Amino acid sequence: MALNSRSPPGAGPYYENHGYQPENLYTRQPAGGPGVYPAHAAQYYPSPVPQYAPRVLTNDSTPTVRTRPKSPTGAACSSKTKKGLCIALALGAVLVGGALAAGLVWKFMASRCVGSQVECGSSGMCVSPDLWCDGVSHCPGGEDETRCVRLYGPNFILQVYSSQRKSWHPVCWDYWSESYGRSACRDLGYGNNFYSSQGIADDSGATSFMKLNASASSLDIYKKLYHSDSCPSKEVVSLRCIACGTTSNSSRQSRIVGGSGAALGDWPWQVSLHVQNLHVCGGSVITPEWIVTAAHCVEQPLNSARHWTAYAGILRQSFMSYGGGNRVGKVISHPNYDSKTKNNDIALMKLQTPLTFDNNVRPVCLPNPGLMLAPEQPCWISGWGATEEKGKTSDTLNAAQVRLIEPSKCNSKYVYNNLVTPAMVCAGYLQGTVDSCQGDSGGPLVTRKNSIWWLVGDTSWGSGCAKPNRPGVYGNVTVFADWIYQQMKANS
């Protein structure tokens, strides 16, 4: 990996979607006759959008026309003695059809909300997931602000939002049970995924807590919680919904600085996203069903889930042709994605069947609010992108170390001249040498903190590959974490 053929500063980001190309797929152009340009081996650059193979008939070169035999119904009903029975059967079919239609109408009316909107309890009002837990009541009964939880800081401290005080508060460990943890994980969007919960010292500086009322009869955790200025145990709940951010290999840091081939288990969250058996983009596993990638990867005509297959736990593109991929069932692009500026360049994919986690396939952790990173935090990028600008994408998974670059430096007139928004993060080296490139798009930018790997960004854009003053630009996943949780919950 050496991000895409990119435009010069000032012209805005530019993206070309380069798929993985086996070496023997394209042949040399034939030599021309007198008066034409000299013949040479033409470098092949894939088109911005993978070309779809035309549908062709198999086995028979000419379609076989088969006629359906005529139904004997007419003849059977011609007999006067059977006319009554035929009429009764016809009326029965009409009644059954009407009942089915009524059932479908009822089902449609029962779920009034379209798309990813969420229904407000019994009122029937539909509210966008983006408006849930934003501190403002949009539902008539305030349901959108009553079950709001988040995980804070590197220690996953569980916090509950108080609609009365308009602020977040950690949950006191006193009287806590695992069943409450499972409930909170469901409300975060993790479905039935639950890993662990424990009491730890609070490092958020909170002076007010949410405390469980042990004598309350309700089984609902939110109806048991009340405000308290003290926490007798002096411990708060640390909640892990999924065993994320761990790897089976520990020798990585000494091997990948400067960029090199990865080993199985090094980056177990890395996936290759294919269209028509070609690698198009990278992605990151965050749950058995959900993958984070870039919105520019799923622009039309690739915005339909039917185009995509995800491959996890495989290092070589050439091995993916043997199968083992997971079909994508749903694609959700950020509603405010701007294809010209690449602002809000993030998307989610939900798999049709969940991944099975092992040493080679594991999730990376979404960054929690309060996860403080250094201005030049060491990070790592990985993918099957080209190892040189305009080169072919790689058959093997590569990885390299980069560092975060402060927004003020990245937005200077000598670098990207204010093209980098708060929804983006720069990483690399201003002197060049190490960078992401075409084919890496959508893939992970991760960092290690508190012995856990966190997803800091998704590969988005840049100008050239590994050029001086042209570092890689990534979607700022910290900014999008709330949106990701909202979408997982709304589409669970």
Q: Which residues are catalytic?
A: 296, 345, 441
Q: Calculate helix-pair angle for 178-188, 477-490, nearest 10 degrees.
A: 100
Token pair, residue 450, equals 């508190």
How far is CA 226 from each of CA 171, 220, 236, 280, 386, rounded to the nearest angstrom? 10, 12, 14, 50, 55
Token pair, residue 396, equals 């093997």
| CB neighbours of residue 386 within 10 Å | 26
Token pair, residue 95, equals 């009644």
Which contiguous run of DSSP H or E holds residue 91?
A: helix 80-110
Burial 259-277 (b: 16+ CB within 10 A, else e): beebbebbbbbbbbbbbee
CA 35-36-39 angle, 5° bins: 130
Token pair, residue 454, equals 């966190």
Q: What is the DSSP secondary structure assignment for residue 296, as one 8-state letter?
A: G
Cβ atoms of residues 308 and 326 within 8 Å? no
| Torsion of the alpha carbons at 27, 31, 36 and 41, rounded to the nearest 10 | 40
Dist CA 308 CA 349 (whole Å)? 9
Cβ atoms of residues 396 and 414 within 8 Å? no
Dist CA 221 CA 212 (whole Å)? 8
CA-based nearest residue to 442, from 351, 366, 377, 347: 347
CA-based nearest residue to 348, from 275, 273, 404: 273
Cβ atoms of residues 432 and 468 within 8 Å? yes
DSSP strands (E only) in 139-222:
149-152, 157-162, 167-170, 196-200, 209-212
| CB neighbours of residue 339 within 10 Å | 13
Dist CA 224 CA 180 (whole Å)? 10
